[in-house]
Amino acid sequence: MDAVLTIDLVKDANLKFPRFTTAGPVTRHLDVKGYEVTTGIGPDLMSASRDAVAGMVDHLCATRQMAAVDAYMLVSTCGDLRISEIVDQPNWVVSFYFPRCVFE
């Protein structure tokens, strides 16, 4: 895969964090076959995120007989971590979406 970037330096922009624009979709969604989804729920978004990812690693190990390190590498390249719910604070729901078509 090749990527072409154009970087513009805007002096005195005083941004708190980096900002960027894309010309189109950032992913080619692989949702034809659906997703396997695991969740993490708790008062801390980072912990809930870790729980959602760990749940998917465990799921792939159990259903695909993968080594944990292989499952972790796979989810780090083809999954989407999303904040699913924030209205029941302090219980945040984070979901990890893994495209089912990866194994087909």
pLDDT tens digits for range 63-86: 999 999 999 999 999 888 989 898
In angstroms, the CA 43 to CA 20 distance is: 30
Number of CB atoms found within 10 A of residue 97's CB = 20
Q: Are 38 and 56 in contact (CB under 8 A)?
A: yes
Domains present along the chain, CATH in parentheses: 35-103 (3.10.28.20)
Tell me the two tokens of residue 73.
Answer: 């590498």
Percent of the chain with pLDDT over 90: 46
pTM to 2 decimals? 0.72
**Lowest model confidence (mean pLDDT) among 9-18, 35-44, 76-85:** 9-18
